[in-house]
Amino acid sequence: MLPYLLEWLSLLGRWLHFIVGIAWIGSSFYFVWLDNHLEPPKIKSDGDKGVGGELWSVHGGGFYHAQKYAVAPAQLPETLHWFKWEAYTTWLSGMFLLGLIYWLGADVYLVDASVRDLAPGVAVAIGAGFLVGGWLVYDLLCRSPLGHNAGALSALLYVLLGAAAWALCQLFSGRGAYIHFGALIGTIMVANVFFVIIPGQKRMVAATQRGDPVNPEDGLRGKQRSVHNTYLTLPVLFVMISNHYAMTFGHAWNWLILMAFVLAGALIRVYFVARHKGNASPVPAIAGVLVLAAVAIAIAPRPRAAAETPVVDTATFEALAPGATANFDDIVKIVTVRCASCHADVPTQPGWVSPPGGVVFNDADDIVRQARDIYEQSVEAQIMPVGNLTHMRDAEREAIGDWFADGAPADWRQ
């Protein structure tokens, strides 16, 4: 029952993460759009009382009149709406999923011995260290004199993110590296809200309530971090969906591919932010699309010579008969014949250019290491092979189930 419970926790966690992520990113996009469409107030009295910009809009059958104060109103209204829990809940649900899937299952999803043979506990500690350390370095840079030079700061941050992407891909499985890179960006984004934007807004509110002058630095600092969050949004969304596309995280140059998507996402967002302000040059968006096109061409699968293509002789494979006593060699044969046509470095099953989910069964070690996944997908849920394209038999599923129940050893019944 534990695998079934974990599957439900994963499902509900992903659903929550998706919902609150939409709420956070949607409100962020809206306020960026709103900020860049403000016009000087038409009524002089509005300007006299501190209104710096206003906007009229229509939506859902109603008219809305939004006004933004240059600093703060002389008197606050009784009800003031805050936008913070969307960000906090997105991060909390994301960390729940990170812990449930990549930390609890570190031996399967995070550690790849062919990349770096780490103990699961060590891998988890390194992953957590990247999240904390990444925020501390970023925050110090923003608070340093370099923080006043947006261009130089952005360039340095991109270089540092590239270094983090490279390091993660040298330590973890491609899938685990990508997710931790996304978690690093997500942590920076939500920490901007929790440690900088919201505290600054609270100080502004408190000063207004006391009748004291509002420190404009709080607004400027909050604006800086909000802009950073805007440009990080598309890259972090890419990472959220990347685990479905092994052609990216499973590639030998996976860290460069990741940074190309970060660059493309930021460039495309630059265009849309500028577009909110009026006529904008399409050059950033075109550049972003060209970066993606270059990646697609660079990682396109190359035709392989017939001698290089691994071939499984299914004609000589004797399907396990009902009631037959199986051993580990039989398990390897079952997985190789029934699963590896899709789950190989170069799938032979038509329609696949990369292994689904980045899962490969190249040898017996891969099969033992991913025993739980094999059992859950082919025996418990019976959704693999997809559509039972390779005609896995009930007796073969039963053999996998017996092998997993006995601890999935590599010397089973020998």
Q: Do 208 and 357 share a structural domain?
A: no
Q: Do 151 and 88 share a structural domain?
A: yes
Q: Do 112 and 54 share a structural domain?
A: no
Residue 89 maps to a domain: yes
Residue 285 maps to a domain: no
380: domain range? Answer: 309-405
> What is the secondary structure of 85-105 as a DSSP string?
HHHHHHHHHHHHHIIIIIITT
Residue 262 maps to a domain: no
Written as six digits, the tokens of 130 are: 């990247």
Q: Do 166 and 19 share a structural domain?
A: yes
> What is the secondary structure of 306-324 as a DSSP string?
GGGS----GGG--PPPTTP
Residue 366 maps to a domain: yes
Residue 295 maps to a domain: no
Q: Do 131 and 171 share a structural domain?
A: yes
* CA–CA gap between residue 141 and residue 16 (Å, rounded): 33
Contact 197, 226 (CB under 8 A): yes
Q: Do 207 and 175 share a structural domain?
A: yes
Number of domains observed in the structure of the chain: 3
Its pTM stands at: 0.80
Residue 329 maps to a domain: yes
* CA–CA gap between residue 73 and residue 170 (Å, rounded): 52
Contact 126, 118 (CB under 8 A): yes
pLDDT computed for residue 309 by the predictor:
40
Residue 163 maps to a domain: yes
Residue 116: count of CB within 10 angstroms of its CB: 15
Q: Do 224 and 335 share a structural domain?
A: no
Written as six digits, the tokens of 312 are: 């499984």
pLDDT in tens, the chain (414 residues): 676 788 889 999 999 999 999 999 999 999 989 988 999 999 999 999 999 999 999 999 999 999 999 888 888 888 999 999 999 999 999 999 999 999 998 987 899 888 999 999 999 999 999 999 999 999 999 999 999 999 999 999 999 999 999 999 999 999 999 999 999 999 999 999 999 999 999 998 999 888 888 888 898 899 899 999 999 999 999 999 998 887 898 888 999 999 999 999 999 999 999 988 888 899 999 999 999 999 999 988 765 444 344 444 544 677 888 888 888 888 998 998 899 888 988 888 776 777 887 788 988 888 988 888 888 888 877 778 876 878 888 888 988 999 999 888 888 987
Contact 21, 90 (CB under 8 A): yes
Q: Do 241 and 222 share a structural domain?
A: yes
Q: Do 156 and 186 share a structural domain?
A: yes
Q: Do 60 and 7 share a structural domain?
A: no
* CA–CA gap between residue 46 and residue 77 (Å, rounded): 16
Q: Do 108 and 23 share a structural domain?
A: yes
Any idea which residue has 């809200």 for tokens?
193
Q: Do 237 and 175 share a structural domain?
A: yes
* CA–CA gap between residue 368 and residue 326 (Å, rounded): 16
Residue 364 maps to a domain: yes
pLDDT computed for residue 307 by the predictor:
39
